[in-house]
Structure 1
Amino acid sequence: MHSEYGYNKFLGAWIPLRLPSSSLVISVLLVLCSTITSTTFGYDGSMINGLNILPSYINYFSLTPATTGLNTASLWIGGCIAGLTYGKITDAIGRRPALFWAAICTLVAVILQTAAQNVAMFVVARIILGFGTSASGLTGPAYLAETLPLHWRGWGLGVFNDFYYVGGLIAAGITFGTSSMSSTWAWRIPSLIQGIFSILCIVILPFIPESPRWLLFRGRKDEAHLVLAQTYSNGNLDDKVVLAQLKEIEDTFEHEKNAGETLSVMQIFRTRTARKRVLLAVSAAVFSTIAGNVIASYYLGSMLTNAGISSTTKQLQINIILNAFCLVCSIFGTYYIDRWGRKMTAVISTTLLTVFLFLVGALTKVFGNSNNTSGVYATVAMIFLFQGAYSIGWTPVLYLYPPEVLNYPIRANGMGVFQFFLNGAALLIVFTMPVSLASIGWKTYMINGAWDILMLFAILYYWIETKGRTLEEIDELIEGKKHSDVPDLEKIIKGEGMLSVESEFREKENLDSEH
C-alpha cells in the first residue's frame, strides 16, 4: 500500500489515502465504491415496492393513491435539486470528496426516514435521500469514466447500474422477512438497513485515488501522471500506454482551454457540440425512465393485482425472484456491451421491452382478475420478460453513455442536467402511475408501449457509438476532429504506434522543463 500524493485541506486532505499497488485492485475498489449509489437506489426502489404491498405501512400512514405516489415520488424532488446544484460542487472539491458528502447526506436521510411519524416527515426524509443518492449518481459515473482504464470503463460503468438489482434483491428479501411483523418495524427496519451502503462507500474512499482528469485540469500534472500509472500499469510511470493517455488528455485540455471552454454551467449551452452532448446524455435519462420499467420497479403490487395475483405473500415472493432475474439479465448485457456497442444494446433492449409491454397490456386485459390460472401466470411471465429486456440494455447503458459523450468542461454539470431530467421524468411517471393504473388499468401499458416505439426511432437516428474509444477520442465522433496527435489508445494497447509516443512525450517534457 502507498500514498504518493496529497490534497490541500479544502480538497480532502482529511480523507486518508492508502492506495493498493495493484491496478486491478484499485479498479475493483473504484467500481465498488461508486456502485454504492446504484445499490442504495435499487434498494430503495425494491424497498418501497415492498412497503407499498405491506398493510402495516399503508395503514400507518393511511395512504391513498395520491399520498402513495407522493411518498414514493418525493425521492426525485431531492434528485432534481441535486441535479441543478451538485455538479458545481463536484468540479470544485473533486470527485472523491463529493462522493463522501453525498454519502453523509444519504445517511442523514435514512435516519429521518426510519424515524418518520407522519407523511410529511417521511416525504422530507425522502427528498433529502433523493438529493444524496442523485448527488452520488452524478459524481460516481463521472468519477469512474475519468479514472478507470479504457479496458475497464465499459464493464465498470455497466456494473455501476447492475448493482441496482443487488440492492433490490437485498431489499426484497428484507421486506419479505419483516412482512410478518405487525408493528411499524415491519417498514422501519428495511429503511434503517438502507444506510449500510453509504457507510461502505465511506470505508472504501481512503483506498481509491482522485480522478486524473480532475487533477490535470487543475495543473497537478505529476499527480495525474501517478494516478494513471496506478490505474493502468501497477504504478509504472514509464509505461507507454500511461504516457500516451496522459499526453492525449493534456492535448485535449489545452485545446479546450484555448477554445475558451470553462467549467461554468453556461458552457453546456454555449456551442452546438456542447448542446448535442447534453442532449445525448439527457435522452438516455428520459428514455430509460419512460420505457415502462418504473411501473414494475415501484408498483409491482398494482401490476400483479391487475393481473389477478392479490396475495401479499405471493407478491413479495415474486418481487424477490424478479430482482434476482433482472440482476442476471443486467450482468449478461454488461458482459456484451463492449461487443454490441452502446447504441445497439439500447436498440435491442428497447425493441424487446416494447413487444413485451404490449403483451403485458393485452394479457392483463384478457385475463386480469379472472379465474384462468394459466392466463394470469402468462401475464406474470411477460412482466418478467419485460423487466429482463430492460435490464439487458438500459441498466448498463444508463450510467455508461452520458459521461462518455460529455467532455471534461461540461461533464459534471452535464451529469447534473442528466440527473435533473432523470429525476424529473421519474417524478412525473412515479407520481402519476398509481392514478393511471387505478383509472385505466391495462391501457397504461399500451400508451407506454406506443411512446417506446418513438423512442426506438430516436435512438436509431440520433445516437452515436462510443465503444473502444477513450473519452478524448470520442471528440472526433461529435466534433469531427480529435484534439491530439497521439494514436488511439486501443491501437497502442495492441502494440501499434508505440515507439512514437514515448519520444513525443519526452520531447514535450524537455521543452516544458526548459521554459
Structure 2
Amino acid sequence: MSPFGYDTGYISGLKEMPYFTSVFGTDFADGTRKLSTSTDSLITSILSAGTFFGALLGSTIGDRFGRRGGIMIYVLIFSVGAALQTGTKNLAGFAVGRVLAGLGVGGTSCLIPVYQSECAPRHLRGSIVAAYQLCLNIGMLIAAVAVNATKDRPDASSYQIPVAMQFIWAAIIMVGLVFLPESPRWLLLKGRKDDCRTCLSKLLSEPLDGPNVTELFNEIQANLEHELEQGGASWADCFRNGDNKTFKRVVTGCVLLMLQQLSGINFIMYFGTTFFTNSGIKNPFIITIATNCVNAGMTVPGMWAVERIGRRPLLIYGAAGMAVCQLIVAAVGVATPLTNVVSQKVLVAFVCIFIGHFASTWGLLGWVLAAELPPYAIRTKSMSLSVATQWLFNFALGFATPYLVNDGPGNAGLKHNVFWIWGSCCVIGSVFAYYMIPETKGLSLEQIDILYRNSNARQSAAYRRYILETDTRDGSSETAVDAQKMEVKHTEQA
C-alpha cells in the first residue's frame, strides 16, 4: 500500500475528527470549534510543498543511487515525517512532519513508476505501472476505514493510530526492495554491463547467454548510444527537441499530470468528508469509504483495459466521462437545496461515477505514460519535472480549495459551483489527449522512440501497428534505433 495513497485517504477524515479539531481547531463565534480555513489549507497542502521538492530531487537521487536505492532513501525520509506527525500535538510540529513525509512521497512517486517501466516486459508494462495506482487507491480505502474506526476515540489515539499505520506500508516497501533487482537500464547507463546482463537474466528467467537476454541487452545498448548521439543526458537536454522530440515528450508528461490534478479528484479525496457534511449528507465518513471502494475497485478493469484497449482511447473517453459527471454535480448543487434527499443521492451517485472514470483511465494512465514516453537518457529528469508539476498543482489546489469553497470573509463561497471548474478542465483534458497522446500499447521503451521520430499522436495507432509488424523476434523491433530505415521502408510500402 503506497504511503502516498494512504496519506491522501486519511487526511480528509482526520480534519473532521472531534478530538483532532479540539487540538488543532479554533473557537468560532457560533460556539463551535473547528479548523479555520487557514489551518485546513495548511494541513492539507503543506504535504504537497514537500512532495514538489522531493520529486524535483528524485532524478538526482535516482541517477546517483539507482532507482531501487533512491526509493529506499525516500521511504526512510517519509518514515521520519510520519513519526513527527504521530508524536506531536503542536500544529507547527505536525506541519513539519507533513513536509518531511511529502519529501518521501514526492521522491517515491517519481522513482517507482520509472523503476517499474524499466523493469517490466513491454506487454505487461502498462498493467504493472498501473498497479502503482491500484496500491494508491487501496491505501486510500484502508485509510478511510481506519479513520472511521477511530474517529470517536476521546483522546489523541483517535488520529495517532491512523497516522502511525503509515509505518506498515513503509516497512512493506523496504522489505520488498531487498529482494528486487536494480533497473537494468540504469545499470547500463552507468556502464555496468555485466550487472545489466545479470539483472536481465533474473527478470527474463533465462541464462546470462540466453537469446532474449542478449537481444534485449543489445537493443537497450543500441538505443542508449543513439540517444546520446542525438543529445546528452543533462537537464538542458530536456528542453531540446531534436530528432527524438525530447522537449515535446517532457511537456506532454508535465501537462498530463497537471490535468490529472485539475480533474477535481483531489477535491473529493482531500475535502470529500467535509464536502459531504456541508451538503447535508448523513454519515459522511461512510460515504467517503464508499467512494474509496469505487476508486480501488475501478482501477482493476482499468489495468485490464490499458493493455487491451490502449492508452490513447482510454484517456480521451475518460476525460469526457469525468466532464459529464462534474457538470451534472455542479448543476444539481446549484439548482436544488441541500436538504433535498433526491439531490443528495444524485450528487453521491455522480461523484462515484466520476471517481470510477478517473480510477480506470486518468488515475493510472497518468503514471504509465509519464514514465514510458520520455527518452531513456533523460527519463528520470523528465519524470521529476512531470511529478513536480503534478505536486505543484496538488499544492495549489489543496491550498486554494478551502478559500474557493467556504463561506465567510476572504472566501469565494463557490460551494458546488467549483465543479464547473473541474468539469471544464476535464474537457480540456479530452482535447489534449486527442492531439498529444500517442498510442504506445505493446511497444518496448525503445520502440516508443521510433514512434516519436516518425509519427504523431493522431497517426500513432497506424504507425504502432507498422512497428509491430516489422518485429523479427518476440519482444523487440528489427532495430531499435534505425528509425530512418524504417521510415523509408514504411514510405515504400505505402
Q: Is this a same-fold pair by TM over 0.5? A: yes
How far apart are the structure 1 equivalents of 2:468 and 2:75?
Answer: 36
Which one-letter code corresponds to 1:304 in the other structure? F
Please point out which of 301, 320, 324 is paired with 1:332: 301
Report SS of the residue matched to 1:226: helix
Q: Distance in 1 between matches of 2:231 and 2:418?
A: 48
Query: After superposition, where does 1:47-446 map in structure 2 within 5 Å?
Result: 47-62=10-25, 63-232=35-204, 234-262=205-233, 264-272=234-242, 273-309=245-281, 311=282, 314-370=283-339, 372-438=340-406, 439-446=413-420
Structure-2 separation of matches of 1:396 and 1:129:
22
Cα 1:225/1:489, change in 2 over 3 Å? farther
Aligned-partner residue type, residue 434 of structure 1: P
- Asked if 1 retains the 8 angstrom alpha-carbon contact of 2:231 and 2:237, the reply is no
Cα distance change on mapping 1:185 and 1:265 into 2, 3 Å: same
Q: CA deviation at 1:425?
A: 0.4
Given the two structures, how large is their TM-score scaled by the length of structure 2? 0.87
Give the secondary-structure state (helix, strand or coil) at the position aligned to 1:464: coil
Q: Which residue does 1:471 correspond to in 2?
A: 445
Once residues 418 and 476 of structure 2 are traced to their aligned partners in structure 1, the CA distance between those partners, rounded to angstroms, is 54
- For residues 173 and 386 of structure 1, what CA distance do their matches in structure 2 show? 21
Q: Matches of 1:73 and 1:474 in 2, distance apart?
A: 36
One-letter amino acid matched to 2:380: A
Verify the 8 A CA contact 1:110 1:192 in the aligned structure 2. Answer: yes
User: Structure 1 495/348 Cα, relative in aligned 2: closer, same or farther at 3 Å?
Assistant: closer
Deviation of residue 163 (structure 1)? Answer: 1.1
- How far apart are the structure 1 equivalents of 2:476 and 2:269? 47
CA contact (8 A) 1:244 1:489 kept: no
Paired with 2:145 and 2:425, the residues of 1 have a C-alpha distance of 33
What is the Cα deviation at residue 375 of structure 1?
2.1
Instruction: State the match for 2:463 in structure 1.
Output: none
Give 1:492 shift.
5.0
Equivalent residues of 2:291, 2:352 under 8 A apart: yes
Q: Tell me the SS of whatever aligns to 2:181.
A: coil
Q: Unmatched 5+ residue regions in structure 1?
A: 1-35, 482-486, 502-515
- Please report how far the alpha carbon of residue 489 of structure 1 lies from its aligned counterpart in structure 2 after TM superposition: 10
Cα deviation digits, residues 343-381 of structure 1 (max 9, x gap): 1111111111110011111122233422x3222112111
CA distance in structure 1 between the aligned counterparts of 2:229 and 2:162, rounded to whole angstroms: 52
- Cα 1:496–1:235 change in 2 (3 A) is closer
After TM superposition, give the deviation of residue 418 of structure 1 in Å. Answer: 1.1
Whole-Å separation in 2 of the counterparts to 1:225 and 1:93: 19
Once residues 492 and 110 of structure 1 are traced to their aligned partners in structure 2, the CA distance between those partners, rounded to angstroms, is 51
Q: Which portions of structure 1, spanning 4 or more consecutive aligned residues, are displaced by more than 6 angstroms?
A: 495-498
CA contact (8 A) 2:470 2:477 kept: no
State the secondary structure of the residue aligned to 1:236.
Answer: coil
Cα pair 1:161 1:398 within 8 Å, conserved:
no
TM-score, with structure 1 as normaliser: 0.84
The alignment-based identity, stated in percent, is: 27
Partners of 1:60 and 1:410 lie apart in 2 by 46
Which string of whole-angstrom CA distances, capped at 9 and with x for unpartnered residues, describes residues 106-150 of structure 1?
A: 110100011122221111111111110110111111111111121
User: Which whole-Å CA distance do the structure 2 matches of 1:167 and 1:409 have between them?
Assistant: 32
Q: 1:402 to 1:440 in 2, by over 3 A?
A: same
* Aligned mates of 1:151, 1:461 — CA distance in 2: 25
Partner residue in 2 for 1:484: none
- Within 2, Cα distance between the matches of 1:245 and 1:431? 46
> Counterparts of 2:470 and 2:255 in 1: how far apart (Å)?
28
The match for 1:20 is: none
Secondary structure of the residue aligned to 1:362 is: helix
**Contact 1:49-1:298 at 8 Å conserved across structures:** yes
- Structure 2 equivalent of residue 29 of structure 1: none
Match of 1:22 in 2: none
Q: CA RMSD in A?
A: 2.0
Contact 2:316 2:429 in 1 (8 A): no
Render the CA deviation track for 1:439-473: whole Å, top value 9, x for unaligned: 11111111221232122112111221111111111
Paired residues of 2:263 and 2:422 also in contact (CA < 8 A): yes
Which amino acid in the other structure matches residue 227 of structure 1? C
2:231 & 2:329 partners in 1: Cα distance? 52
User: C-alpha separation between the residues in 1 aligned to 2:380 and 2:67?
Assistant: 9
Is the alpha carbon distance of 1:490 and 1:60 closer, same or farther for their aligned partners in structure 2, counting shifts above 3 Å? farther
State the shift of 1:157 in Å: 0.2
Kept in 2: contact 1:226–1:235 (CA 8 A):
no
Give the aligned residue type for 2:220: I
AA of the residue aligned to 2:249: R
Amino acid at match of 2:390: L
Q: CA deviation at 1:41?
A: 1.1
The residue identity in structure 1 corresponding to 2:414 is I
Gaps of 5+ in 2: 26-34, 407-412, 456-466, 481-494
What CA distance in whole angstroms lies between the structure 2 residues aligned with 1:120 and 1:368?
Answer: 39
